[in-house]
């Protein structure tokens, strides 16, 4: 891979890769490290990529595999279901609600079990074809569709849970609810 190809790959793909990495790792630092590691591998192994049209799916697959490698090395990953920690959540203040507005959606995504979260993140963040996503996850397209559907369902439940409460700001993502709610401009 020459300098120009690398620069083009970075320019056109790094944002999507970073967001996908964030959806996997859940922190900005880890997401940046995953993205860097992925592009470092492109520099080292990019010469073996004969079909440059596959750079995108190669990068996403590589990032996902690096992440899986990290997971294997970790003894445990903290993972909490919403229900398990709901009783521990502090009351939502207006300041927190403002923050919730901007972060609730990504939080909801991160709360979802990984096998549903990965297809969902790829659905929202990147434009890989479903054939490419299925190949990357090594699952049939039918399974991918089912996981995507389940992931969306879980995410919407999580978002709904976040918007419950009289003093909590409703997340205006549902157009029909947006019209009815006096909380929204």
Instruction: Please state, in angstroms and rounded to a whole number, the distance separating the CA atoms of residues 117 and 163.
Output: 20
Burial bucket for residue 117 (CB in 10 Å: 0-12, 13-18, 19+):
buried
Name the residue nearer to other proteins (CB basis): 19 or 169: 19
Q: Which x/- pattern over 85-124 shows residues binding other proteins (rule: CB under 8 A)?
A: -----------------xxxxx--x-------------xx
For position 70 contacting other proteins by CB under 8 A, the verdict is no
CA atoms within 13 A on the CB side of 73: 6
Stretch that binds other proteins, among 44-52, 60-68, 79-87, 89-97 (CB under 8 A): 44-52
CB of 87 to other proteins, least distance (A): 25
CB of 174 to other proteins, least distance (A): 6
One-character DSSP codes across 114-125: HHHHHHHHHHHH
For position 58 contacting other proteins by CB under 8 A, the verdict is no
For position 43 contacting other proteins by CB under 8 A, the verdict is yes
Q: Which x/- pattern over 5-34 shows residues binding other proteins (rule: CB under 8 A)?
A: -xx--xx--xx--xx--xx----x---x--
Backbone angles phi, psi at 26, to 5 degrees: 85, -5
For position 125 contacting other proteins by CB under 8 A, the verdict is yes
Instruction: Please state, in angstroms and rounded to a whole number, the distance separating the CA atoms of residues 110 and 118.
Output: 10
Burial bucket for residue 95 (CB in 10 Å: 0-12, 13-18, 19+):
exposed
For position 157 contacting other proteins by CB under 8 A, the verdict is no
Instruction: Please state, in angstroms and rounded to a whole number, the distance separating the CA atoms of residues 76 and 24.
Output: 15
DSSP state for residue 140 in the 8-state scheme: -
Q: Which chain residues interact with other proteins by CB under 8 A? A: 3, 6-7, 10-11, 14-15, 18-19, 22-23, 28, 32, 35-36, 39-40, 43-45, 47-48, 102-106, 109, 123-125, 127, 129-130, 141, 144-146, 148-149, 152, 155, 171-176
């Amino acid at each position: 891979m020459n300098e120009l190809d690398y620069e083009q790959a970075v320019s056109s793909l790094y944002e999507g890769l970073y967001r996908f990495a964030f959806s996997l790792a859940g922190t900005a630092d880890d997401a940046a490290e995953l993205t860097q590691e992925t592009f470092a591998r492109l520099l080292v192994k990019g010469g073996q990529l004969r079909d440059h049209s596959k750079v995108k799916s190669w990068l996403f697959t590589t990032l996902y595999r690096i992440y899986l490698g990290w997971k294997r090395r970790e003894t445990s990953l903290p993972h909490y279901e919403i229900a398990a920690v709901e009783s521990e959540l502090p009351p939502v203040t207006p300041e927190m609600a403002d923050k919730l507005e901007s972060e609730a959606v990504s939080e909801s995504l991160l709360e979802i079990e990984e096998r549903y979260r990965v297809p969902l993140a790829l659905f929202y963040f990147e434009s890989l074809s479903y054939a490419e996503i299925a190949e990357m996850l090594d699952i049939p397209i039918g399974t991918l569709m089912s996981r995507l559907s389940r992931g969306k369902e879980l995410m919407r439940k999580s978002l709904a849970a976040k918007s419950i409460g009289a003093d909590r700001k409703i997340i205006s993502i549902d157009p029909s609810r947006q019209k009815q709610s006096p909380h929204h401009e």
